[in-house]
Structure 1
Amino acid sequence: MKKLSLVLLVVILILSSFEQASALKLTVSSPRTSFYRYPGTIEDIKMTLKPHGSFIEAGIFITFSPKGSIYSSEKDTLEAVMEFELDQRAFINGMWLFLNDSVYVKARLLDKWTAGYIYEGIVQRMADPSILFKRDQGQFTIKIFPLLGNSTRTVKINCFLPAKWTDTLVSTVLPINFVEASFKKPEILKIYAYPDSNFNSIGFLDNKKIKFDDVFNPRFGEAKLGIIGFTDSTKASNFYFKHPFQDGIFANTYFGLKENFYQVMLNPKKFFAPKNSQKVAILIDYDKNKSYRSKAEIVATIKKVMKSYLTPLDSFNLFVSNTEIYPLSDTWISASEKNIDFFIKDFVAEVIGDKSNLANLLYTAAEWVNRTSVEAKILLISNTDQHGKQDTANKIGERVNKILKNNIQISVCTYTEKNWVTNWIASVPYTGNDYLYAGLVYPRRGYIVKIYDVGNTVESMINSVFKSMIGGYENLTLTISFFRGFAFDKIAYTGSQKDLSPNEIFVEFGKFEGNSFDNIKLPLPMKIDLTGYYRGIPYNSTFYITEDKYANFYDNRSMWAGLWIRNMELLRTKTLLNLYDIINKSLEYEVLSTYTAFLATEDDEKDTLLQDKDIIPVELIYFEGLARNKAIDLFWATASEQNNKGFFIERRILGEQSDWSSIGFIKGYGNSSVLREYNFTDRDIISGKTYQYVLRQVDIDGTSNVGSQIVTIHYDNFLNMTLQDNYPNPFDKETKIKFSIPERCRVILDITDIMGNKVLELINHTVEADDYEVIWDGTDINGSKLPNGFYICRLIAGSHVKTIKMMIRR
């Protein structure tokens, strides 16, 4: 992994701070002759979709043209710039620039300063660059050069979109808003989907008419093809895979070369059944002049939230404002989904009046609840403001409190959005009916949420009050362990997941050690202990996943990294050490961050696109390489094999127009349904050369298939330069620093603080190739003890730099 020195961190931070979020747009310009930007066009867009559990992977192929601009000649060398948006939890982990219909360049991930410097330099040289960077959460920019005035350019952006889970479906909203930036919209969008044994049937939630057919495409392989358009009848965006989630658990493990990762999706309601019942009377008071929401919208939202929080053990009733007020039912209604659908229909919105009748609504509902219940909850949902004056509010509050028993709670959702009044009472300003609501809610230990105070949507506001009134999942803790191992570095899907609403899914990613037996890595068993509170009652559940029900390969590694980077980027205060970690994690896992950028140039590795998915018959999990002293090691693994005789390892030297040649053969396992790992060492190498490797898999009958994954390794003796973590760390009196130098050169070993200021130089002279150990006592150049905190040890050998973090704690 390429480490970033602290010297660049301040520059990158400054550059990032100047980037401003902007609207979705696509423009073209001639960067060397004019600053004016013209509209551009998306000529074609295709999308591949693959399930990965809590995310859906999308490969987006976009073809740009200068239509809409003044340019039309092949002499016009233009730059296309598209600013686009994805879901804020989405992440990008790859970009490809096509040089023609089949030859492409895979982008490198660099720190943003370096990538921008190279890109701008190439634009001046009229070469072929493309750069993609992240402006903010969910906001991205891609630039391509050159786009000829009479031609098109195609890029592929690979991203992971967050998925929403229900009992039977896994869905995501596709980023089809790309086309809104186009001067002229493409007529259709082709979707190539790849269901698997876990996620099978596919479709669109918002357009059931769109069908998917089995196809074989030279680029995309065997897939399900669906075609959507951009008119009302053909438009769709809410895509789904079906998944049988009835048992409430989905678990998957990923074995990597250096690290192992897992993901777990868990539906708490499958394990925590409610033991107490609730009665809720819902009151709706409405004034058409006080809100932008229709009555139908309000009723639909209430219905949706009720389904999330209430169970058949609970019961409800409904009261709405009109000239005459009646309960929806003479008795409490069991809150099953069937009953909620049956009783709360479109007619409910139609009987709500256009003007407030709040006082009578409260009196009628209070009398009915008091007569039919010993204990219950009343929820008022209102946008009105005519009862906020002190005398009126006190009169209504006193009467309601006289009617109700002490153990009946009142809560309020208020969403007055326009034309509201302010009442000054005892020199305190109260908006609308807030003074009345305070008198109703606080004596009865209820809850009040105001849409104008916290910027809520109506749905989130009602959801918040239901969660407070009825209760959700609290202090949820998921403890995961593995055979001969343990889990660590856990990351929740949405930050802290200790408290969830009943309609939310617990999602966790993490790393793990263990699950190996006789050198065979086993995806399972996994032990899960779930503890927490539901509606204030403690629960615990322990279960084992002993069958590998979800054995397909899903990229848990990239998803873990995407969540880790996002969580770090969302820190309100970031130190330079935080930035250092974000950038280096981004580079290590090849996941875009706000401080890195994907850059593709004509000098990068080129290849011919065979298919978008791996064509090797065996299920290949990874194929990776690593340079070391006088050798390059190759590693790969399969999840399953069928009639696999083995693998030929083929190699070529990049830049020398050399053909692929076989350099070795590794025998396969024939038929296998467990993870199998392979390795091969290439010792016939020369320093300064860049080598490419590909696998040619051979069946028992002699049929061979060349894989599409290419490993590119630049061999340089200095790749074997190492700087080990110091020990001990943190330290008090002294610490040992060990490093290795592969050949004779000048070496600098120094210590800086986290601001990049040098405090001590330990070595600055020429050394021979060897292993070294230096002891540092935590003092500066004057021999004075340095204060507690973080410090950076930097090893410079020639043009190569490595760094480690150290901590003094006395």
Structure 2
Amino acid sequence: MKPFYQKIVLSLAFIFVFVLHASAWSWLNVQNPRTWDKWGQGTIEDALLTVQPKGIYMECELYLTFSGRDNNFLPSDTLEISYYFSLPSKSIVHDSWLWVGDSIVHARLIDRWSAWQIYESIVKRRRDPSVLYKQWGDYYSLQIYPMMGNEKRKAKITFLVPTSWTARSVSCPIPTDMLQASKIPLEKLRVLVKESPEFQNPSVPVIPEASFKRIQDPDLGPCLETFIPGNYIGFSQIYLSFSHFVTNGLYLSTLNNGAEGIYQMAILPSKFFQLDQPKKLLFLFDFEKKNEYQAGGNQVYAELKNLMANYLDENDYFNIIFSGPQPMMASNSWIKATPENMRQVFSMLGSTPVQNFSGLQELLTSGIKFIQKTGNKGSMVLLANTDHYATNDSANLLMDYLKTFEPHPVTHIIDFDNSYTWYYFGGKYFRGNEYFYTLLTRHTKGNYYQYNYWDNNIADMLTKVFEISGGKISSFDLHTSMKEGFCYGRFNIEDPGQAIYLDKPILQVGKYYGNLPFVAELAGIYNGQPLMVRKEIPASQIIPSDTLLAKMWAGNHIASLENTWNYDNEMISQIVESSLSNR
């Protein structure tokens, strides 16, 4: 059908809505918007994701082709697509496109109320609109009209995703959870990436078969291509990782406009302060398939291997024990965490060393005895989904038994039990082994992380364990300036607060006025002693950025306005104007 009038509208303005509290949420519906006599779940026929590292963010372009297949629509039915989805935390959407016939039409960015009026008036007159709303936080909706009963419609959404940094790599989640809304599951997600001099060697660590090959794409040009198999789509967050070459603990990139400009900065405190505190981590696995849903034992092991390669270096040590009829230990002594040693150990253990077996008492006892035998230095990390000590009586008995092996090492626990079996005692509900794990982590001054499909994922919880294991600095302060000038309008992607972990990166975007060099000063208390480091970064060590840096700053500025909770028309107008002026 050749449309008489083509108009696409895009709105990124704020509105209050009720949404599911989920880290991954999507829903796709196709219906007749005028009579609602026909409706059904939509299908994503094809999906392509392009990714380009841009420093503390990666730019993602998601191409989606929709249909109403297998819903008994007639070819003459005129349908509307309604797609609701969430993006990775603190993402910034900055563009939208719609294909109309063989042409691609760029969205207009206008306020939500105008967008809604235009969209509704066009739908009533059966023309070609698309509207992308930011609902709240990381939740969005996309509506497209019309789609005939036997037709497909194609759209593109462009967004920036915050990165995670380690001393060796920079990564971001691939939002495969957006694609699980499809009625007919996708067979694969095609991924194209562009390297840069600073970010190279892309990989998808938890999917060994997702290797990259160099191709010449007609739109993206020279790039690398891989495919995410359909069985991984919506399974959990999958990370795309690049190697980087930051050696002094600080990455800095700027966009200049005379004496004014915008900067983005990533700081790795352990490298910046030159305080690499050696880690000794003993990982324990206790797994039963009956409690598996989204996270299987060997999938968790694959996530662990990836993060070990990124967070551990030659000064660190590790070991692994797996539950079994007899607990299986990777080594009788600590293993130095060199890349070669890790490759050898992972090769020896194979890809599926986690057994369908629970022996939690024997496993914890073996771990405690190993650390005592090797000098009482090191922490334990229990990764378990079992629930045999869920009652208060069984949990208290196990704690009493373990106390006979004092002193205990600091013990962190990642509980990925997905059975959702609840127990009530002491005036409170506990899920699975939650009560026992709470007792153990409090007793050993560790941390307890409980997996919930709607709120978190295994990689995030493991990352927290690695970050807190490297030591911390209290009374922390960070100040940026110019040697001749000043910085202002600073936004941290995640507020570091008064204490920072040495292995947790600090990501910041801000503005400056003045002349280089750029100055970064960090101060705090480490092991009871004051520390202060001041570094001047000359122009030769600063990486030029493109105009996307302005969108990064604007996205954080808008998010700060949204999070004030003190709304009036002036505040809403400021949000809308900031969105429009920083398209």
TM-score (norm 2): 0.75
**Partner of residue 404 from structure 2, selected from 399, 405, 408:** 399
Does residue 559 (structure 1) correspond to residue 552 (structure 2)? The answer is yes
The letter for the 1-side match of 2:131 is: I
Superposed displacement of residue 447, structure 1: 2.5
The letter for the 1-side match of 2:450 is: I
Residues 102-117 of structure 1 aligned to structure 2 (within 5 Å)? 102=103, 104=105, 106-110=107-111, 112-117=112-117
Does residue 23 (structure 1) correspond to residue 26 (structure 2)? The answer is yes
What's the counterpart of residue 584 of structure 1? 574
What's the counterpart of residue 575 of structure 1? 566
What's the counterpart of residue 480 of structure 1? 480
Using the TM superposition, name which of 480-489 and 195-204 deviates more. Answer: 195-204
What's the counterpart of residue 6 of structure 2? none
Instruction: State percent identity of aligned pairs.
Output: 23
The letter for the 2-side match of 1:531 is: A
Query: What are the ranges of 5 or more consecutive residues in structure 1 without an aligned counterpart?
Result: 1-11, 516-523, 593-597, 599-810
Confirm or deny: 8 A CA contact 2:278 2:470 kept in the other structure: no
What's the counterpart of residue 60 of structure 2? 58
SS class of match (1:566) = helix
What's the counterpart of residue 550 of structure 1? 543
Query: Kindly tell me: are residues 393 and 494 of structure 1, through their superposed partners in 2, closer, same or farther at Cα, counting changes over 3 Å?
Result: same
Alpha-carbon distance in 2 for matches of 1:492, 1:195: 25
Query: Kindly tell me: are residues 180 and 282 of structure 1, through their superposed partners in 2, closer, same or farther at Cα, counting changes over 3 Å?
Result: closer
Residues 27-42 of structure 1 aligned to structure 2 (within 5 Å)? 27-29=30-32, 31-38=33-40
Name the structure where helix makes up a greater proportion of residues: 2
Confirm or deny: 8 A CA contact 2:287 2:354 kept in the other structure: no
What's the counterpart of residue 728 of structure 1? none
Superposed displacement of residue 551, structure 1: 1.8
The letter for the 2-side match of 1:212 is: R
Confirm or deny: 8 A CA contact 1:254 1:555 kept in the other structure: no
Residues 238-637 of structure 1 aligned to structure 2 (within 5 Å)? 239=240, 243-255=244-256, 260-274=261-275, 277=278, 295-297=297-299, 299-300=301-302, 312-317=314-319, 321=323, 329-343=331-345, 345-346=348-349, 350=353, 354-356=357-359, 358=361, 366=368, 369-373=371-375, 377=379, 383=386, 385-386=388-389, 389=393, 392-393=397-398, 396-397=401-402, 399-401=404-406, 404=407, 409-411=409-411, 413=413, 415=415, 418=419, 446-449=445-448, 451=450, 464=464, 471-472=471-472, 474=474, 476-496=476-496, 499-501=499-501, 503-515=503-515, 524-532=516-524, 539-546=531-538, 547=540, 549-570=542-563, 574-577=565-568, 580-581=570-571, 583-590=573-580
Superposed displacement of residue 559, structure 1: 0.8
Superposed displacement of residue 67, structure 1: 5.2
The letter for the 1-side match of 2:556 is: L
1:515-553 Cα shifts (integer Å, max 9, x gaps): 3xxxxxxxx431222334567765433322211552242
Alpha-carbon distance in 2 for matches of 1:313, 1:227: 34
Alpha-carbon distance in 1 for matches of 2:329, 2:282: 9
Confirm or deny: 8 A CA contact 1:38 1:70 kept in the other structure: no
Confirm or deny: 8 A CA contact 1:388 1:423 kept in the other structure: no
The letter for the 2-side match of 1:494 is: E
What's the counterpart of residue 159 of structure 1? 159
Query: Kindly tell me: are residues 282 and 541 of structure 1, through their superposed partners in 2, closer, same or farther at Cα, counting changes over 3 Å?
Result: same
Confirm or deny: 8 A CA contact 1:312 1:335 kept in the other structure: yes
Alpha-carbon distance in 2 for matches of 1:557, 1:362: 51
Query: Kindly tell me: are residues 306 and 164 of structure 1, through their superposed partners in 2, closer, same or farther at Cα, counting changes over 3 Å?
Result: closer
Superposed displacement of residue 286, structure 1: 5.6
Query: Kindly tell me: are residues 388 and 466 of structure 1, through their superposed partners in 2, closer, same or farther at Cα, counting changes over 3 Å?
Result: farther
What's the counterpart of residue 7 of structure 2? none
Query: Kindly tell me: are residues 104 and 424 of structure 1, through their superposed partners in 2, closer, same or farther at Cα, counting changes over 3 Å?
Result: closer
Confirm or deny: 8 A CA contact 1:288 1:355 kept in the other structure: no
1:29-55 Cα shifts (integer Å, max 9, x gaps): 2x3344532455656655554442222
Superposed displacement of residue 147, structure 1: 3.9
Confirm or deny: 8 A CA contact 1:446 1:469 kept in the other structure: no
Alpha-carbon distance in 2 for matches of 1:377, 1:139: 38
Query: Kindly tell me: are residues 539 and 304 of structure 1, through their superposed partners in 2, closer, same or farther at Cα, counting changes over 3 Å?
Result: farther
Query: Kindly tell me: are residues 256 and 175 of structure 1, through their superposed partners in 2, closer, same or farther at Cα, counting changes over 3 Å?
Result: farther
Query: Kindly tell me: are residues 575 and 347 of structure 1, through their superposed partners in 2, closer, same or farther at Cα, counting changes over 3 Å?
Result: same
Alpha-carbon distance in 1 for matches of 2:343, 2:520: 35
Query: Kindly tell me: are residues 325 and 165 of structure 1, through their superposed partners in 2, closer, same or farther at Cα, counting changes over 3 Å?
Result: closer
Superposed displacement of residue 327, structure 1: 6.4
SS class of match (1:389) = helix
Query: Kindly tell me: are residues 231 and 190 of structure 1, through their superposed partners in 2, closer, same or farther at Cα, counting changes over 3 Å?
Result: closer
Confirm or deny: 8 A CA contact 2:177 2:233 kept in the other structure: no
The letter for the 2-side match of 1:134 is: K
Query: Kindly tell me: are residues 434 and 98 of structure 1, through their superposed partners in 2, closer, same or farther at Cα, counting changes over 3 Å?
Result: closer
Superposed displacement of residue 396, structure 1: 1.7
Superposed displacement of residue 513, structure 1: 1.4
Alpha-carbon distance in 2 for matches of 1:17, 1:279: 46
Superposed displacement of residue 25, structure 1: 1.0
Aligned residue pairs, count: 555
Superposed displacement of residue 492, structure 1: 1.0
What's the counterpart of residue 133 of structure 1? 133
What's the counterpart of residue 121 of structure 2? 121
Query: What are the ranges of 5 or more consecutive residues in structure 2 without an aligned counterpart?
Result: 1-12
Confirm or deny: 8 A CA contact 2:203 2:212 kept in the other structure: yes
Superposed displacement of residue 187, structure 1: 8.3
Superposed displacement of residue 269, structure 1: 3.2
Confirm or deny: 8 A CA contact 1:42 1:182 kept in the other structure: yes
1:243-302 Cα shifts (integer Å, max 9, x gaps): 433444321222459973211122233233446556555555566666666554555555
Residues 211-222 of structure 1 aligned to structure 2 (within 5 Å)? 211-215=213-217, 217=218, 220=219, 222=221
Confirm or deny: 8 A CA contact 1:52 1:554 kept in the other structure: no
Structure number with greater Rg is: 1
Query: Kindly tell me: are residues 317 and 545 of structure 1, through their superposed partners in 2, closer, same or farther at Cα, counting changes over 3 Å?
Result: same
Alpha-carbon distance in 2 for matches of 1:353, 1:190: 33
TM-score (norm 1): 0.56
Confirm or deny: 8 A CA contact 1:61 1:154 kept in the other structure: yes
Superposed displacement of residue 437, structure 1: 6.7
Confirm or deny: 8 A CA contact 2:57 2:163 kept in the other structure: yes
1:716-762 Cα shifts (integer Å, max 9, x gaps): xxxxxxxxxxxxxxxxxxxxxxxxxxxxxxxxxxxxxxxxxxxxxxx
Alpha-carbon distance in 1 for matches of 2:183, 2:299: 34
Confirm or deny: 8 A CA contact 2:74 2:149 kept in the other structure: yes
The letter for the 1-side match of 2:489 is: D
SS class of match (1:590) = helix
Confirm or deny: 8 A CA contact 1:285 1:357 kept in the other structure: yes
SS class of match (2:26) = coil
The letter for the 2-side match of 1:545 is: I
Superposed displacement of residue 116, structure 1: 1.0
Alpha-carbon distance in 1 for matches of 2:457, 2:175: 22
Query: Kindly tell me: are residues 388 and 462 of structure 1, through their superposed partners in 2, closer, same or farther at Cα, counting changes over 3 Å?
Result: farther
Confirm or deny: 8 A CA contact 1:558 1:589 kept in the other structure: no
Residues 712-723 of structure 1 aligned to structure 2 (within 5 Å)? none
Superposed displacement of residue 491, structure 1: 0.7
